[in-house]
Chain A
Amino acid sequence: MENLERFRYIFFIFGLVIIYLVNIILPYINPYYFQIIIFAGINIVLAVSLNVINGLCGQFSLGHAGFMAVGAYFSSFLTFYYKVPFPLALIAGGVLAGLIGLGVGVPTLRLRGDYLAIATLGMGEIIRVILFNLDIVGGARGFPGIPKYTSFFWVYLVVMFVLVSSYSLLKSPQGRAILSIREDEIASEAMGVNTTRFKIFAFIFGAFWAGVAGGLWAHYLQFLHPSSFTFMKSVEVLVMIVLGGLGSISGVAISAVFLTILPELLRYAKVLFNTTVDPRMVIYSLLLILTMLLRPQGLLGGYRRKVKEQ
């Protein structure tokens, strides 16, 4: 627990300094850089929350974009139609995403491994199709005119909350139970851990923060469209946590920032190779494959390999 206390102070002091500095710099900063900073923060929230499901609990979920979409749409719906205060709307979006996580988790978490992956993928697609047909939030036309509430302050606050809550979870008895499920589900059940309950708990935790991240995203872009929340979005987050090293919270957060900046840096590749086509995504995917081949445990991975493949 001492470790945690130290972290809390570090976060607190670090946070005060950063917020103070940023508030000074903010009016002068290039809006492009500012947007990258905001997206990096949102990606940290997404990656750290997915890490709780995939990395700590070992349940392979591919439906994160779905939870993000629920949070984004619901919080925007509240602020747009009912003028609900932003923090409340964010929390409401997260809670609805968490409830959907509960509804999806109870039946699907009985499934194992790849089946769970494909079921959560399907769930994400179903959410997207429903949003596509939901006229009150614009349906296929998209949802414009969302008020711009997301500022650096809110993003920072949510990032801190998600980091602190993940670390606290990791060090708590509940977190240990969740880790034991990842290591060996049968053994953990034999030791008296209610595996279903903790799997659902991890699932709701991840879904809640994904919903909050979605709310931040919506109130930054001020426009939502169901096509932003495809399977590709879930894969993007998955790539962040795999590169960061499954289960390592700090690694995942760093890799979320790195992978937000990398595609932007790769824009220069177009100039460098003097081509008319954009080689950005090709380089991105090549880097992904090479990283996996050279370091399958992730760039900063502390994930211990299983002794024996099941």
Chain B
Amino acid sequence: MITEIFQQIINGIALGSIYALIALGYTMVYGILRLINFAHGDIYMVGAYAGYFAITSFKWGIFPSFIFAMLICAILGMSIERFAYRPLRIRNAPRIAALTTAIGVSFLLENLGIIFWTPTPRAFPQVIPLKIYQGIYERFGIIVNNRQLVIISVAIALMLLLQFIVNKTKIGMAMRAVSFDRETAWMMGVNIDYVISFTFAIGSMLAAAGGVLVGIYFNRIDPLMGVMPGVKAFVAAVLGGIGIIPGAMVGGFILGIAEILVSAFIASSYRDAIAFAILIVILLVRPSGIFGVATREKV
């Protein structure tokens, strides 16, 4: 029993690291623009396809394909911001209009995916040969494979890199300033458009990384693969406290583990509900999330 729980927790961490990567993009964009970027889950889908085509059509190795997918998505994320969100931001449109535009962009990406890549799921090439660590299995009775380790370590490396960028670099400082108070940051000479563009690029790169990792892990990609993980990653971001980067990571891991535990020990048909059940409980008990600081509304 104990070994089985540990086994499922390992699986959950692998899934959770993907949620965490997507959630980071959500949380950064929300932190800066106060916008739920619904298209984010679909950027992750595009990332998976970019990786797929880099491997199958260009015959590239896994590392260049990974970089390629991240670059494609960075460009995609920046253009979405430039052409769909910025015009609304400049005109100071109601927030619901921005949200609807985000939903529209999400629809557009999904349906373009269906048209260009057909709705049939594709098998992601097995670039990393599956290897199960026999030693761990014999000693602890837990099956760990190299793909899980790759996913977890790549995710954690990217998160550390992001932490470094946000906390130690100049552009990171600008991002924090814009997120704290956009107008004041602007008055202090921060180029807001540039910072927002940069945020979208970074968030989309992380989502693309998540997409390629999911392809490696589950071997299956399709144009609608981003819908559910997108919403769940948003839940993960809220769970950790939206706008807070370590919160999104922790939220992603908690969500991944909870989901796997529920489908292993209760029923796999309830796995989609658990994310939202956790969300509602968290919102009722601590609406600002695990790491969030409660803010009082100013009159």
Contact = CB atoms under 8 A, between A and B. Distances in A.
Interface residues of A, number: 48
A284 B235 CA distance: 28
B111 A281 contact: yes
Interface string A260-283: 000000000000000001110110
A122 B279 contact: yes
A115 B101 contact: no
B115 A118 contact: no
A6 interface: no
A236 B238 CA distance: 24
A273 to B, nearest CB: 11
B188 interface: no
Interface stretch (A21-29, A191-199, A206-214, A292-300): A292-300
Given A125-B276, A242-B97, A296-B93, A289 B108 contact: yes
A130 B269 CA distance: 9
Interface stretch (B8-16, B195-203, B280-288): B280-288
| Interface SS, B side | helix
B110 to A, nearest CB: 8
| Interface SS, A side | helix
B108 A292 contact: no
Interface stretch (B83-91, B134-142, B145-153, B161-169): B83-91
B95 to A, nearest CB: 8
A122 B108 contact: no
B36 to A, nearest CB: 6
Nearest to A140: B269
A126 B275 CA distance: 9
Nearest to B277: A126
Interface residues of B, number: 48
Contacts of A111: 283, 287
A305 B94 contact: yes
Contacts of A282: 108, 111-112, 115
Interface in A87-122: 107-108, 110-115, 117-119, 121-122
A179 to B, nearest CB: 16
B277 to A, nearest CB: 6
B91 A296 contact: yes
B273 to A, nearest CB: 4
Interface string B107-143: 1101110110000000000000000000000000000
A305 B96 CA distance: 11
A57 B96 CA distance: 14
A126 B88 CA distance: 33
Given A133-B269, A289-B108, A239 B100 contact: yes
B38 to A, nearest CB: 9
Interface string A117-138: 1110111011001101100000
A129 B280 contact: no
Interface in B248-299: 267, 269-270, 272-273, 275-277, 279-280, 283-284, 287, 297, 299
Interface of B: 30, 34, 36, 84, 87-88, 91-101, 103-105, 107-108, 110-112, 114-115, 227, 231, 234-235, 238, 242, 267, 269-270, 272-273, 275-277, 279-280, 283-284, 287, 297, 299
8 tightest A-B CB contacts, nearest first: A122-B276, A296-B93, A296-B97, A285-B107, A288-B104, A129-B273, A285-B108, A281-B111
9 contacts: A110-B284, A111-B287, A118-B279, A122-B277, A133-B267, A238-B100, A282-B115, A292-B98, A305-B92
